[in-house]
Amino acid sequence: MVNVLILRAPGTNCDVETSYAFQRAGADCVDVVHINRLLRFPRLLDDVQVLCVPGGFSFGDDIGAGRIFAVKLRDRLGDIFRTFCDAGKLILGICNGFQVLLKSGLILPEDSAGAAATLTWNNNATYTDKWVHLRVEESGCVFLRGVRELYLPVAHAEGRFVPRGGDVLSRLDSAGQLALKYVDGENPNGSVSGVAGVCDSTGRIFGLMPHPERFLDMFQHPHWTRLVAEGKFERDQNRCNGDGFAIFQNAISYFKK
């Protein structure tokens, strides 16, 4: 059995799409749980193999994208999450969920000098919604196994990855933790080194700014009609998977292999 828990908060708006993605990928059970319920019943995680924090605007992003949600996880559930990770389970954060995982220290734990990196305002200082090409780097990230490139939509205002310094960037790069990058010329937010997704040292905790749950089916491609006209996609292939599907499929197959 592979059970998935989608953790939502006030302002989360991608939980239903993310739940569907895991169901389509073969999860045996997908449960969408409000953060307040998990705070009251943390043992809900005992029988879960995959935890996902989806996109949206948790707590309105009132003091920074994902900040309040991150503090709740770190201060109220820190030990629970560490036990969850130590058990070999998986955690995925998408867009706002990536902000939550990074700012809670789950992906990159803080050291004596503070946080290793953050996600802050886009260089254009505004909300950006577009499709981008992405390159998968050499890493041990479970969610990206067998994937070399992706074409996914981004939709965020605070997605610019900024490390504490060049030494931190080099260390993360050498460790294979900068798992996903925007292809040259398509960096929508000005992220340092074009970073679009980061994994922890085990490869089992992964956060990314693009939305894989928004490209599960080829018909969601912004130019799918052109692909049909060019003979690259047959109309009767209505279950042909989009690029984002592999991320969810990898999570499920990790436990079903």
Q: Which residues are catalytic?
A: 95, 211, 213
Strands 160-163 and 195-199: unpaired
Note every long-range contact of 35-42, with CB atoms under 8 Å and residues 24 or more positions apart, other chains counting.
35/7, 35/8, 35/9, 35/69, 35/72, 38/5, 38/7, 38/77, 39/72, 39/76, 39/77, 42/77, 42/80
The neighbour count for residue 176, using CB atoms within 10 Å, is: 15
Extract the tokens encoding 52: 């996902």
Report the chain's C-alpha Rg in angstroms.
Answer: 17
Count Cβ atoms within 10 A of the Cβ of residue 256 and give its class: 0-12 exposed, 13-18 middle, 19 or more buried: exposed
Q: Which residues contact 103 (CB under 8 A, 6 or more apart)?
A: 64, 66, 67, 70, 115, 118, 119
Q: C-alpha distances in angstroms, 87 versus 22, 82, 91? A: 21, 9, 12
Alpha-carbon gap, residue 94 to 197, rounded angstroms: 9
